[in-house]
Every structure is written in structure tokens, then in C-alpha cells.
């Protein structure tokens, strides 16, 4: 059985995962509006992944006999100055999520909830990948700038995600 404290904390994390999805969907729509369909595709794939994370948490709460309670989410930012600005926000957001996952893991340790610790290890590892992916794209954008052939090539590369 999941403790109320841990259940409440995971419900809060579910809200953050859904908020993340909403943010990535808004970023994807921004990229569509500035004719960067590959960037939009990459971000839409991220949107789906964040919803999968929320569902994974929901499944875990239900499997442990808990109750999922959904909280309100905020309106995401809709405009960005450049592709680099988008991905700097992606990285900052993923770093925030990493801190939240780490805090949740620390709570599971404090409560001696070994099942929760095992479940959360997947998310800890996932966050390493999320931050790495955003960092690589940021560094590539710094090298190529905000326009021209290299940006179009990166857009095409990002558009191939999941295909």
C-alpha cells in the first residue's frame, strides 16, 4: 500500500508530467508557426513521451492501491525568439523535472518504500537521457545559428525522430 504522503507526492508529479506535455505541445506549435516542422515533430514526440510518463505514474499509483487525483495545469509559454531559445527552455524544464524526480526518490527512501524506489529508478535514468538530448541540440544550435542551410538540415534530422 502506498502511503498518503507518497501518493500525494506522486500525484503532484503526475501534474508536472502533464504540464511538461502541455509545454512541449505549445513549443511544437510555435515551431510549426515558424516553418520548422522537424523541430515541431521532435517536440510533439516529447509531448507524447511526457504523457506516457504521466500514465506510467498513474498505473503505479493504481497498482499500489492508491488514488490518482489530477491537479490544474498552467498555460504554457507560446512564443520564442529562436530555436535556441526553445531548447534552452527545454533543458531548463528538464532540469526542473530532474530535481522533482530526485525529491520524490528521496521521499521514497525516507519512507523505506522499496517498490517506489525501484519504480523511480527508471525515471532517474530517463532524466539523464532527457537532459543529454536537450544539451546536444543546444550545442548544435550554438554552432549553426538561427538560419540557413545548417538549420534546415538540423530541422530535417529532428524530424526523423521515431521514424
Can you give the CATH number for the domain in which 20 is found? Answer: 1.20.1260.10
Domain count along the chain: 1
pLDDT at 163 exceeding the cut of 80: no
The model's pLDDT over 62-101, given as tens digits with 9 standing for 90+, comes to 999 999 999 999 999 999 999 999 999 999 999 999 999 9
Please list, in sequence order, all residues whose beta carbon lies within 8 angstroms of the beta carbon of residue 88, skipping any fewer than 6 positions away: 138
pLDDT at 145 exceeding the cut of 90: no
Section 117-125 average pLDDT: 98
> In the prediction, which pLDDT does 1 show?
87
> In the prediction, which pLDDT does 162 show?
83
* pLDDT higher at 42 or 162: 42
Cα–Cα distance between 123 and 125 in angstroms, integer?
A: 5
pLDDT at 151 exceeding the cut of 80: yes
> What is the model's pTM?
0.94
Counting residues of the chain whose pLDDT is more than 70, the rounded percentage is: 100
Please list, in sequence order, all residues whose beta carbon lies within 8 angstroms of the beta carbon of residue 100, skipping any fewer than 6 positions away: 13, 16
> In the prediction, which pLDDT does 148 show?
87
Domain with 20 in it: 4-159
Of the listed ranges 14-28, 48-62, 87-101, 146-160, the one predicted with least confidence = 146-160
Q: Are 54 and 22 in contact (CB under 8 A)?
A: no
Amino acid at each position: 500500500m502506498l502511503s498518503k504522503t507518497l501518493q500525494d507526492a506522486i500525484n503532484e508529479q503526475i501534474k508536472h508530467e502533464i504540464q511538461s506535455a502541455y509545454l512541449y505541445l505549445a513549443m511544437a506549435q510555435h515551431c510549426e508557426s515558424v516553418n520548422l516542422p522537424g523541430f515541431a515533430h521532435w517536440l510533439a514526440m516529447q509531448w507524447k513521451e511526457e504523457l506516457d510518463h504521466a500514465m506510467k505514474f498513474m498505473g503505479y499509483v493504481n497498482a499500489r492501491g492508491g488514488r490518482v487525483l489530477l491537479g490544474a495545469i498552467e498555460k504554457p509559454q507560446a512564443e520564442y525568439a529562436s530555436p535556441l531559445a526553445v531548447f534552452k527552455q527545454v533543458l531548463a524544464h528538464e532540469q526542473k523535472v530532474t530535481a522533482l524526480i530526485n525529491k520524490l526518490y528521496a521521499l521514497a527512501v525516507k519512507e523505506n518504500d522499496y517498490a517506489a524506489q525501484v519504480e523511480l529508478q527508471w525515471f532517474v535514468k530517463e532524466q539523464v537521457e532527457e537532459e543529454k538530448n536537450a544539451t546536444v541540440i543546444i550545442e548544435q544550435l550554438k554552432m549553426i545559428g538561427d538560419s540557413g542551410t545548417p538549420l534546415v538540415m538540423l530541422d530535417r534530422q529532428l524530424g526523423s525522430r521515431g521514424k
